Amino acid sequence: MNPLRIALPKGRLQEKVLDVFAKAGYEIPTEDDLKTRKLVFIRGEVEWIFVKDCDVPVYVEHGAADAGVAGLDQILEHESNVYQPLELPFGKCRMMLIGAPGAPRLGNGTTATIATKYPRIARHYLDARALRAELIPLGGSVELAAVLNLTSHVIDLVETGETVRVHKLEMQDVVAEISPRLIVGRTVYRTDRERIRELISRVERSAGVPPASDGASRPIAEG
């Protein structure tokens, strides 16, 4: 039987995510493994692949990985049609609408430009509130767009809020509550249900979190 292929995000959540799987009894790559340039490791019953966080939902949805851990921001931005059985209890933050110093709140008649790495989520947010704004996609340092008056607002993730405070920006509204999710491909859940249910159960116990309210979980694509 082929090992389960699990996609994990490189970066700030990698250590905590690996710790959850280690506590769940899975053999994970060692620190020395992770210092190499390799991105794929077969350890015991799992083939681990390490990709950018934005790519995890893509790999899982299209069947290149059976399961993975991805932030809800990436799942929503890609409108990924995957199951989300578990919300993990770390790495939580908020996606916020942030205004430049003195920028008005969005409303009827407001002319606004919004910089963001999440144009699809931003468009859903605006449409749901019947607001109009020009979206300017950026790849990084989104808050800088408001600091330098490229845009009147930004939509971005806020964890501590320090960048917002330092630059005297204003957090105006919550766009979404964001957390890492264990995600599972729809096809593999049907074809290899026993192993996938075992994976969910083991991670659930090791992370100390309750399952999603609908059990085997929902594909989320709503804004």
Give residue-wise pLDDT tens across range 121-140. 999 999 999 999 999 999 98
Residue 207 has pLDDT above 70, yes or no: yes
Q: Which CATH number fits the domain 93-177, given the four candidates 3.40.190.10, 3.40.50.2300, 3.50.50.60, 3.40.50.2000?
A: 3.40.190.10
Assigned CATH for 4-91+179-207: 3.40.190.10
* pLDDT bracket for residue 35 (50, 70, 90): confident
Phi-psi region of 217 (alpha: psi -120 to 50; beta: other; left: phi over 0): left
Cβ contacts of 117-124, under 8 Å, gap ≥ 24: 117/142, 117/156, 118/73, 118/76, 118/77, 118/155, 118/156, 120/76, 120/77, 120/78, 120/79, 120/223, 121/73, 121/76, 121/77, 121/95, 121/155, 121/175, 121/176, 121/223, 122/155, 122/175, 124/76, 124/223
Q: Is the pTM of this model over 0.85?
A: yes
Q: Where are the domains of the chain?
A: 4-91+179-207, 93-177
- Average pLDDT for 10-26: 95
Would the CATH topology of 4-91+179-207 be identical to that of 93-177? yes
